[in-house]
Amino acid sequence: MLSIKENELLTQIGPGTPMGKLMRQYWPPIAASQELEASPFRTKEVRLLGEDLVLYRDRSGQLGLIDRWCSHRRVNMAYGVVEQDGLRCQYHGWKFDHTGACTEQPFEETVHPDARFKEKCGVAGYATHETAGLVFAYVGPQPAPSFPMWEPLGWGNVVRDIAISELPCSWLQCQENSLDPVHAEWLHSYFGQYYRGEVVPRGGAADAPVVARTDTQRQPMRANTHTKIGFDVFERGIIKRRVLKNTTEEDDSWAIGHPIMFPNILLVGNETSCTMQWRVPVDDSHTYPVSLYTFRAAPGSAAPKQESIPSRIVQLFDEQGNWTNLEHTFNQDYLCWASQGPIAERNREKLGESDKGIILFRRLLRDQLKRFQDGETPMNVFRGAEREIPLELPLERVPMGTHRKPIYFPGEAGWSADRTLIEETMATWTKVAGYAL
């Protein structure tokens, strides 16, 4: 439980707030590169840490991330014209480059060719970094820290996929879920099977027939009952460990565990494939969950070539506005995070043994905030000349105590446009001992 004041301290991330300043030290992903290619305007409206921005790629290939509202009369420049060296506002033709500088004001320059009006009309412009099919942004003070090149971002011989959604809730309750192993046996196992009609059939008589699964739906997981959970702070965040009814502390789920990278990233997976999940703060009460799926070819095999890395917007609601696609693990998570409300009322919660990872994470957040306020460099911020910092991460080999046949089923709704390439890549593992199950 937190006091109302503590809850506000940790969840308010607008400009000038203590947490807003801390969160502006990082490089969150804000778009898939492919979204710009797919957009008719080669732009994307982005809202990050309470600020409205527009991302675009000019005709020379340069990415720009600038204020969304034109400095002239505040038009939304997501409908602007992308030119060779900047974005031209569609209303009166003022042009802005990727630094936000106003480079042209056609009518003003006609009437006052010698005036320097445009020098006063620039907008904010921010740094971007493109890798693994994602565009990352830095909107904090200069100089920008080095880009953290988390290990899976640099893997070669892989096929990748990206899914992005937007949730009407604070980033913090999304990330707290990463410190909560016990929910998996209920939300992802029991509720998931309930939703699919495999336990108590929904909306029917108790003896109603069980609804048949479609062949696109995954086999139900075992109950995976937890008997022990543990958490350790490490140099990049927290390692989450679990022992299940059918595993021991010798198994990777305890011995290696899953890393949560400070402040808002989770890595789940094993040597065959992994998912990095960022919970990107849009504003105090909205979050972009951004998932990067990486599928590796088995040693000695070659992954098929991808033309570009596909991305999709995850469908969360049906036409009536109800939550849907809840057979997917992440959609189940998204439902729970959003249903805690725009900002979870942590002053009213009752934390138990299953929540000790959450308590540790909140402590880490407060410690890092204090450290930052004292002028020290917070966790996972790297100051130096290097443009990128390579970062290794622990990864399980055998998750949950058993090899699983590497198959592709999307963690969240919608299939990858490169499904066949992913399946081809996963099939390379069937030649490896232990995986041909």
Q: Supply the minimum distance, in Å, between the C-beta of residue 83 and ligand FES.
A: 14
DSSP 8-state class, residue 54: E
* Binders of ligand FES in range 43-82 (CB under 6 A): 70, 72-73, 75
Single out the segment in contact with ligand FES by CB under 6 A; choices: 7-15, 88-96, 225-233, 413-421. Answer: 88-96
Single out the segment in contact with ligand FES by CB under 6 A; choices: 86-94, 240-248, 288-296, 354-362. Answer: 86-94
DSSP 8-state class, residue 167: B
Query: Concatenated DSSP letters for 136-162?
Result: EEE-SSSSPPPEEEEHHHH--SEEEEE
Of residues 95 and 226, the one with the C-beta less far from ligand FES: 95
DSSP 8-state class, residue 171: H
Q: Quick check: 94 binds ligand FES (CB under 6 A)?
A: yes
Of residues 109 and 318, the one with the C-beta less far from ligand FES: 109
Select from Fe ion, ligand FES, none the partner in contact with residue 333, using the beta carbon and a kind-dependent cut-off of 5 to 8 Å.
Fe ion
Of residues 56 and 278, the one with the C-beta less far from Fe ion: 278
* Cβ-contact 44, 35 below 8 angstroms: yes
Select from ligand FES, Fe ion, none the partner in contact with residue 243, using the beta carbon and a kind-dependent cut-off of 5 to 8 Å.
none
Select from ligand FES, Fe ion, none the partner in contact with residue 92, using the beta carbon and a kind-dependent cut-off of 5 to 8 Å.
ligand FES
Q: In what order do the strands lie in the sheet with 51-57?
A: 29-32, 134-138, 125-131, 63-67, 51-57, 43-48
Q: Supply the minimum distance, in Å, between the C-beta of residue 103 and ligand FES.
A: 12
Select from ligand FES, Fe ion, none the partner in contact with residue 190, using the beta carbon and a kind-dependent cut-off of 5 to 8 Å.
none
Binding site for Fe ion (CB under 5 A): 333
Of residues 333 and 355, the one with the C-beta less far from Fe ion: 333
Q: Supply the minimum distance, in Å, between the C-beta of residue 62 and ligand FES.
A: 20
Choosing from 21, 47, 92, 371, the residue that interacts with ligand FES (CB under 6 A) is: 92
Count the residues of the shown chain that bind ligand FES, applying the rule CB under 6 A. 9
Of residues 45 and 388, the one with the C-beta less far from ligand FES: 45
Of residues 91 and 194, the one with the C-beta less far from ligand FES: 91
CA distance 237 to 260: 6
Centre a 10 Å sphere on the Cβ of residue 409 and count the other Cβ atoms it contains.
Answer: 12
Provide long-range contacts, Cβ within 8 A and 24+ apart, for 190-196.
190/223, 191/326, 191/332, 192/220, 192/221, 192/326, 192/327, 192/329, 192/332, 193/220, 195/326, 195/327, 195/332, 196/220, 196/327
Choosing from 41, 91, 234, 382, the residue that interacts with ligand FES (CB under 6 A) is: 91
Select from Fe ion, ligand FES, none the partner in contact with residue 91, using the beta carbon and a kind-dependent cut-off of 5 to 8 Å.
ligand FES
Strand partners, 191: none
* Cβ-contact 12, 120 below 8 angstroms: no
Interface residues with ligand FES (CB under 6 A)? 70, 72-73, 75, 89, 91-94
